[in-house]
Each structure stands twice: as structure tokens, then as C-alpha cells.
Amino acid sequence: MMPSKKANEVGLDHLGAMRALLRIVELGSFSAAARELKVATSTIARKISALEDMLGVSLLHRSTHHVALTEAGNLYHARAVSMIADLDDTLRVVAELDSAPSGPLKLTAPVAFGRRYLAPLVAPFLERYPGVQLDLRLTDNHNDMVMGGFDLDIHEGENYLDNLIVQPISRNDSILCAAPAYFARRGRPQAPADLAQHNCLRYLHPEGDPRWHLTDGATVQSVLPSGNLQSDHSELLLEATRAGLGIAEFEIWLIRDLLVSGELEVALPGYRLENALTGRQIYMAYLPNRRFSTKVRVLREFMAERLKGIGELPDRELVPSPAERA
């Protein structure tokens, strides 16, 4: 079958049609994609129709309020995502040769981690690299790096490392802790079994294990904590813990300064928590096609230098025991 005139036309702008399709799928409509690309909706529609004519298949199911990929569309879309990512990375690498890092740079991280540690680093980074336009997205829901267009992902745990290059930043230690006022009122647990006599504040996650798994390096003891507060928000639980309500599990990066100041104290100093959800490391992760990007490299180096060891229990001299404080 000979290609139509429209197909010949799209052959001159196959790349533009491919990019348009990706935006339609991500944004959910022709009109939203047209607004982002700053063209008329009819222009977007003509590109997709011409692309479908050239391929001889329908790529999208269309309705008044919804678009969805056909079987052929799913196959084309998967290949197009990879191709566009590779092309954009090639263009970036070439443009960055022999020049200072510049252009858009998209980073994602968990909300609490981003507020506590990344927010103070934004201004120093951009002062050092003024040509970069940083886009920092904080979310506790893992982002698809390809679909989201992310250059770098800072996250905890080993759950999302497939097909990514990873660079460990720090161990990700977790402990149980409480305020000194709570210990003064209720006493200190001496072993994991003693937690049954304490008010335990629980963090909830749909993929998390409700039990606390405590290890002394040789054995693991599991307990099901119970108390009068549970939440899916770690910072809310932290405020309740600081107020003396009970014992809670936290990663070191979230409470490091509070341990140093003595506002919080470790509940079972001889134990660490094993948490499959948060894992044993904090990582920076990036796609293989970003490995030669100058701006990604300088961001990785900048973050690695300033965040090194941030998830590890501070040295003993920084966190004196209650007896030493007295």
C-alpha cells in the first residue's frame, strides 16, 4: 500500500508527532497537550491522524472526555518514550560540551527528606550553577523517572532500582525513640518484649509491615506495636513523640538533630530496626542515558558531598547517654 499524502507529510515531522503523542498520553487529552506545546488542538489532532495513517493502525481510542492507547499504541508509546529520552539526552550532552552546566534539571525526593535536607541546598546549588533551572518535585509516591522526565531521584530503599544506575548516599538506620519526659513518666524498655507495656506510635503505609523488626546484630525479634496514635504522616508522629506521647520508629535522617540536642533519646540503644520499605540505604538514582550529562553529574556530586552519612546514627560523643546528660 502506498503511503497517503498525509503520511508523507508526517514523515517530515515524525519526531514532532511522537512528542505530541507522549504529551497526550501523560496529560490525558489533546487539548492539554496542545496548551503545553503552545499549538492549536487541531494541529495536534492532525499530527496524530497523519502518524496513524503512515503506520496503518490506530494508536489512540478517542472519546469526548478520554483518550486511551490501543494495543498498537501501547507498543509504539513504550518505544517512543525510550527513543525520545535517548535523543534528548544526546542533545543535552552535546550542548553541554565545553560549557558550564545549564538548562532544566528535574529532581524528585520524598517530602519530609526534601523539606529537611534539600530545601537548604537549593540556593547554594543554584548560586554555584546559575545556568541551571532546577525543578524539584517532592512526593512520597514513587515517580516513574522516564514518564516524569526526571534526571535524578533521591529515595530510600531497594524497591525501585531496576534499570537504574544508583549511587548510595548513606546508610538508612532506623531506631525507636521517645522524649525524655516520656521515659521519666513510663520508664525505659530494656528489651523488645517490654514494648508491650508502652504506648507505641505507629506509622502506616499501604505497603508496609505493621510489625517492628528489631535486630541486635545476631537475632531479630518482631513485635506488633500498639498505642493510641497511628498515622501515615511521619512528621505528625514526630511532633507527638517530641511532646512525650510515646515511643515511635524513625529513620535517623528525620531525627538526627533532635538526638544530638537531647530532645529525643534512643529507646533500645542495642537494637536497630529492619524495615523492608525504607531499606538499608539512601540512594541517588538516574537513568543510564543520563550518565554523561554534565548537569546531572554536578548535582550528584553536590548532593553526595552534603548528604553523606545523613541517615546514620551520630557518633556516641554527639549523643550522650541520659546518665551523661545528668
Phi-psi sector, 163: left (phi>0), alpha (psi -120 to 50), beta: left
pLDDT (tens digit per residue) in 25-83: 888 888 888 888 889 988 988 888 888 888 889 999 887 677 889 999 899 998 888 88
pLDDT over 90 (residue 317): no
pLDDT over 70 (residue 315): no
Furthest C-alpha separation in the chain:
88
Q: What angle do CA 301, 147, 143 make, to 5 degrees?
A: 60
Identify the pLDDT of residue 95: 66
pLDDT band at residue 157 using 50, 70 and 90 as cut-offs = confident
CA 211 – CA 300 distance, rounded (Å) = 35
Domains of the chain: 5-93 (1.10.10.10), 102-169+284-307 (3.40.190.10), 174-278 (3.40.190.290)
- How far does the chain reach from its first CA to its final CA, in angstroms? 88
Query: Rg of the Cα trace of the chain?
Result: 25
- Return the percentage of the chain with pLDDT > 70, whole number: 89
pLDDT (tens digit per residue) in 108-135: 999 999 999 999 999 999 999 999 999 9
pTM: 0.65
Cell of 145: 523517572
pLDDT band at residue 97 using 50, 70 and 90 as cut-offs = low
